[in-house]
Structure 1
């Protein structure tokens, strides 16, 4: 698709979103970051790259190709789960866990020494009864319904895991670093155990995490990024700050995803800013401007075992040099 083919009906007419944080005790750093997001809405899109390895080869590849660094660095707390040493672990599982170790330290380094914005997701290995990559439903018999009942074995294991991750996130709080926190992602697909028992159990888990982190652990440095394309799984405006969805267009498809933007934007009742939580090909920034599909950021997923480069070197050069795309070099000092 090019600009000449973009028709009027493919343009968004949606209102501006609400940038007010759900946590009334949110840190000044979170408030400043949301103010910045509000200031660039409709004018720019933030570039992002996910790094599941603490050595961050994806970031280095982009730097070498474009001479620039993504504004948002995406990390995964995968190896910080309690149950990573599962039975029947394949080499792929062990490799992923091992290379993810040191992620917190890497994220802290970038946050302290640059203006980079940090986001975390968590491929949560099953708290109990899992094998191999036990965050997948097919690899665990962990019962979320029982885990939401106080005092059960499943509940105690789940709370223990939540508190372990809170300890890691507190390291950022102690350094006044805001985190775009995208937990329990892609639940409606059912392929992760936190989505295997339906929307109501998922919503209870999400709200349990929010309450425990905000009220008990006082993690006021978290900006809560919900992640699903299905409104039936929405946990409520009072526990969500930013809406996001993951969408992988076919290789070579760099359309602005206007249909997806319009559909996902209308899920919250109080309209929230909308981001691409994960994507493959980068939406063409020129088409984003024309379509008014004002994604707050894009987040290219890591190259899978170095077999897939979601975007060609020429695409990366063109997009990262576009004035509409914000890179790390463009970010103001927000902390």
Structure 2
């Protein structure tokens, strides 16, 4: 099986090398660095053959371990790292030395550099605190979104927070001083109702203004290494997905988040919802010439042993997405008195199925992406 995947990989790399030069630079930032433009072009081609697998905080910690150099739950199961590595910069606005999940920012910077050096892809979200109240991202006090817009009561504070994000993003450098490209996913799950920037806390026009202002502000601070990912939660129609979209010149990738909560052996609800949303998003992506992604998903504790090759693969179907990312492997959650993980670890019940998932010719992990040289 591995030989078959290797043959598929060689075919993939050959086709990409022939076609990668045929696409223009990022739609969003016309000043994007060469490496950022190269990543974008290669992502366009890569999705024609399959999708990358990603994992949140993969290098920082896993089930029953933290900050052990080179360790990864995914690698210990598949003998390969993920292709995509998710990070979050929540709490950088507070000058905290650690993000909201306890990952020190200096370590995050180190991990992002390691990923770049091995040819992997980094994506960053931001569970940004509520500037209006001082609460966390889940504080949905009415008026919060409006307060950060130009002429809003917290606009100047919000700019200072963006300054701190810009400093961090600009600090992500390779050994030779090049800016490390990042898939940046701000204001995620906007069609939900649980964050202060979500649709229940502002009009479509206000959300678009927030996105465009933030986009232009980061550019004004010299941040030219971002590929912008527009991200929703649930939506029912094309119009629902389009309603808050800020415009083609501000977005490079479109995506949604969806998690499994019921029993996949007795319910098809998760698969049905994902397929419905992919159908709508695919129509949108084709019309707007955008890449698609499944930016967050997973099944906490993965209690169904064939979830990877049965449920997740069915949920994605034949849609040409760039990547799928499952959430973090925190381990024991003391405040909830339960285990919290979304990727298998050594000995976990889906280990065998995950290896089958890894061997599929259309799933790409670190080894394939390293050989792809996506920054070239």
TM-score range, shorter chain: 0.7 to 0.9
C-alpha separation between the residues in 2 aligned to 1:153 and 1:78?
22
C-alpha separation between the residues in 2 aligned to 1:333 and 1:204?
36
* More moved, 253-262 vs 279-288: 279-288
Task: State yes or no: 1:330 paired with 2:371.
Answer: no
2:326 is matched with which residue? 300
CA contact (8 A) 1:128 1:157 kept: no
CA contact (8 A) 1:79 1:100 kept: no
Distance 1:283-1:205 versus aligned 2 partners, 3 A rule: farther
Structure 1-normalised TM-score? 0.80
Alignment of 1:122-141 (within 5 A): 122-131=126-135, 134-138=136-140
CA contact (8 A) 1:199 1:233 kept: yes
- Quote how far apart the aligned CAs of 1:83 are: 7.3
- Quote how far apart the aligned CAs of 1:300 are: 0.3
Q: CA RMSD in A?
A: 3.0
- Quote how far apart the aligned CAs of 1:290 are: 9.8
2:42 is matched with which residue? 36
C-alpha separation between the residues in 2 aligned to 1:99 and 1:266?
38
C-alpha separation between the residues in 2 aligned to 1:101 and 1:288?
36
C-alpha separation between the residues in 2 aligned to 1:177 and 1:114?
12
SS in 2 for 1:246: strand
- Quote how far apart the aligned CAs of 1:239 are: 0.3
CA contact (8 A) 1:277 1:298 kept: yes
Alignment of 1:133-212 (within 5 A): 134-138=136-140, 143-150=144-151, 152-172=152-172, 174-195=177-198, 196-212=201-217
Residues 225-255 of structure 1: per-residue CA shift (max 9 Å, x gap): 1102522111111100010110113466485
Structure 2, unaligned stretches of length 5 or more? 1-22, 64-70, 236-240, 265-269, 300-306, 333-338, 344-349
1:239 is matched with which residue? 250
Higher share of residues assigned strand: 2
Alignment of 1:247-262 (within 5 A): 247-250=258-261, 253=264, 255=271, 257-262=274-279
Structure 1, unaligned stretches of length 5 or more? 1-17, 86-93
C-alpha separation between the residues in 2 aligned to 1:65 and 1:204?
44
Distance 1:97-1:70 versus aligned 2 partners, 3 A rule: closer
Alignment of 1:220-299 (within 5 A): 220-228=224-232, 229=235, 230-250=241-261, 253=264, 255=271, 257-267=274-284, 269-281=287-299, 284=309, 287=313, 291-299=317-325
CA contact (8 A) 1:182 1:224 kept: yes
CA contact (8 A) 2:113 2:172 kept: no
C-alpha separation between the residues in 2 aligned to 1:293 and 1:236?
23
Runs of 4+ in 1 over 6 A off after TM superposition: none
CA contact (8 A) 1:48 1:73 kept: yes
> How many matched pairs?
304
Distance 1:241-1:193 versus aligned 2 partners, 3 A rule: same
